[in-house]
Structures are given as C-alpha cells and as structure tokens.
Amino acid sequence: MRRAPVLVARAVFPEVVARLSQHFDVESNPEDRIFDKPTLSARLAGKAGAFTTGSERIDAEVLDAHPQLRVVANMAVGYNNFDIPACTARGVLATNTPDVLTETTADFGFALMMAAARRMAESEHFLRRGEWTKWAYDMFTGSDVHGATLGILGMGRIGQGIARRGALGFGMKVIYHNRSRLTPDQEAPVGARYVDKATLLGEADHLVLVLPYSAASHHTIGAAELALMKPTATLTNVARGGIVDDAALAVALRERRIAAAALDVFEGEPRVHPELLTVPNVVLTPHIASATVATRRKMAELAADNLIAALTGGTPPTPINPEVLRDGRLPPPRTGRG
C-alpha cells in the first residue's frame, strides 16, 4: 500500500524525521530554509500532511491549492499561522503542542521579568563597554521582585505557572485579567485576585503578558495602556508579537514612562522594531522561551504524534479543531473542496 506523503517544513530533530519516515514518504528540509508562500505551495503538492512551525502560513489560498492536504501539525502551542476557520471549512485537521512547554516557558518568562526589574542586560552592556570603574550607591538600582505586585494578562496554563513562581517563590501579590475568571480552586493556591484590565495596568509592579494572539488581541498594549502603568513598572511579553505596539513601547521606554521591558516576541519577527534596539532599558531575546532540549524534543514528538495518528486512523492527541473528526478520527479524504 502506498504510504502517505508528508512535508516536514523546517529542520527538526533527525530522530523525529526518522520516526515519521517509518510511516510516511517524508520530504524534509534539513537546510532549514524559510519557505516563501510559492515555495511552500510547491512543496505541499501532493502532500497529505505537513509538520509545520510558526513560519508556515496555512490559509484558504494554500488549502484550496492543495485539496489533498488533510492535516497540518504545528510544533508550537500558538497557531496564529493557521487560518482555523478555513481549515475547518475544508475538513483539514489542525493540531498544536500545548502543555509540554508550559513550565519551561513559565521559567523563562519569570527570568525575563527579573532581568528587566534588576536591569541585568543594561548593566551587562555597561560592563562589556568597559565603563565600570567604581561602585556607586545608585548604580543600576532597579526594583524588587519579592513582595511586589505581579500582574498577569492571560491566565492560562503558562500564566498560572508564572503566578505560582511569583506567589510561592517570591511572596508576590498576584492580580490578573483574563477573558474568563478562574475558579476559586485555581485562584486559591497563589491568592490570585481577578481585576479589570485598567486596574491590572495601574496596580502591577511587574506586568507579564501571556495571552494568545488574535485579531481581537492585536495591540492589546498600546500607548493608552502604557500610560496607565506606573513609571516604576516593568512589562514582559512572552506571548506573541503584535499583542504589544512595539513602536509605542519604544517611545514609553525612551521617555521612561515605564521603567523597563523584556521581550521574547515581536511584531513581524524576526524583524525587530529599530527603536527597540536603541533604548537601553529593554531585554531582548529571539523567541526562545521554550528553548530547552527536553522541551523542544517533547514539542517535536507531540507534533509527530498528531501527524501519525491523524493519517493512520488513530486519535490525534491535541487537535485545535476537533469538529473535523468523526469519533475522534479523521474521516476518509474527499476529492475536492468548495
């Protein structure tokens, strides 16, 4: 029986490609090229499935050009590179990799927040430039993390992980805003208090963004929101680029309307707004919050699990649009889509 052809769109662990090759005819990308849309479309020709990352945009145009495509498996928890309504309308299963990166991302988010609060990047650059010649009582004085008010915008799995670190490890007071309030049992372990967005912005000493990106959350933090924050506050974004208006943030940092920021994600990444590169009071990292070997391996394996299950009659473990499944399984392929 002919094996289903699949595309692995970016370089991943060789053993994961080898595992997929036990089930499918795999076209891989060991050179790790970023495919533009025409190249991606050419590589998807005839493919039943695709192992993707956030780099590959799967939209209605791509789907209509490839009616044989049945599943797209993202090696990421976020999936704003997928047009989910278009996938669902065409019976294409989309999957992601939640849970396996929660604790690692929470670690990194908390580390970034601390780096911003204690001016670590700013002081390291000072040292590397050879400008450290003496001690001074006010040299790179930042703000305390212990006992401060931790504000979390987006209280999902990662947000709750950051809340635990702050409350249980550093005695922080936790306030949060979310689309829906947590249950009392979820709030109680960290003493989290639900507040409206304006209160969150006004009371937080350290604000961490962990909400998913969508058209509705675009520029959730812009000039008006930054104006509500304390001049001593820090802002950390480990969510998605586009949630923060990076241009407005650069102005607020330069004018010291907030004390500092720490960013792992950016609008239009890997491009970074040039003004963010010129302000000293910001910590910048290249979208690496989940970047430990163990976690990235788990993400790759879960994406492979989804792809294998979907195309071999099994139940994919983490579907985004499970409504395309029948009894937990992908139905037989159709010959065309309207």
Residue 161 and residue 262 in one domain: yes
Residue 108 and residue 210 in one domain: yes
List, for residues 17-38, the tens digit of each pLDDT value: 999 999 999 999 999 999 999 9
CATH number of the domain within which 141 lies: 3.40.50.720
List, for residues 188-234, the tens digit of each pLDDT value: 999 999 999 999 999 999 999 999 998 899 999 999 999 999 999 99
Q: What is the pLDDT of residue 2?
A: 82
Please say whether the beta carbons of 242 and 271 come within 8 A: no
Q: Is residue 329 part of a domain?
A: no
Residue 267 and residue 315 in one domain: no
Please report which helix (H) or strand (E) contains residue 268, including its range: none
Q: How confident is the prediction for the chain on average, in pLDDT?
A: 96
Q: Can you tell me the distance from the alpha carbon of 151 to that of 211, in angstroms, rounded to the nearest whole number?
A: 13
Residue 117 and residue 219 in one domain: yes
Report helix angle 14-21 to 293-311, nearest 10: 10
The tokens for 234 are 């820090």
pTM for this model (two decimals): 0.93
Confidence of residue 338 (pLDDT cuts 50, 70, 90): very low
Q: Which residues are catalytic?
A: 240, 269, 287
Residue 186 and residue 235 in one domain: yes
Residue 204 and residue 269 in one domain: yes
Q: Is residue 330 part of a domain?
A: no
Residue 61 and residue 133 in one domain: no
Q: Is residue 335 part of a domain?
A: no
Q: Is the pLDDT of residue 123 over 80?
A: yes
Q: What is the pLDDT of residue 111?
A: 98
- Domains identified in the chain, total number: 2
Mean pLDDT for the stretch of residues 130-141 = 97
Determine how β-strand 49-52 pairs with β-strand 5-8.
parallel
249 closest CA partner among 271, 210, 272, 276: 276
Q: Is the pLDDT of residue 335 over 60?
A: no
Q: Can you tell me the distance from the alpha carbon of 30 to that of 248, in angstroms, rounded to the nearest whole number?
A: 38
- State which residues form the domain around 170: 102-284
Residue 202 and residue 264 in one domain: yes
Q: What are the residues whose beta carbons fall under 8 Å from the beta carbon of 20, sequence distance 6 or more?
A: 6, 8, 26, 51, 304, 307, 308
Q: Is the pLDDT of residue 310 over 60?
A: yes
Q: Is the pLDDT of residue 332 over 90?
A: no
Q: Can you tell me the distance from the alpha carbon of 101 to that of 335, in angstroms, rounded to the nearest whole number?
A: 37
List, for residues 240-283, the tens digit of each pLDDT value: 999 999 999 999 999 999 999 999 999 999 999 999 999 999 99
Q: Is residue 331 part of a domain?
A: no
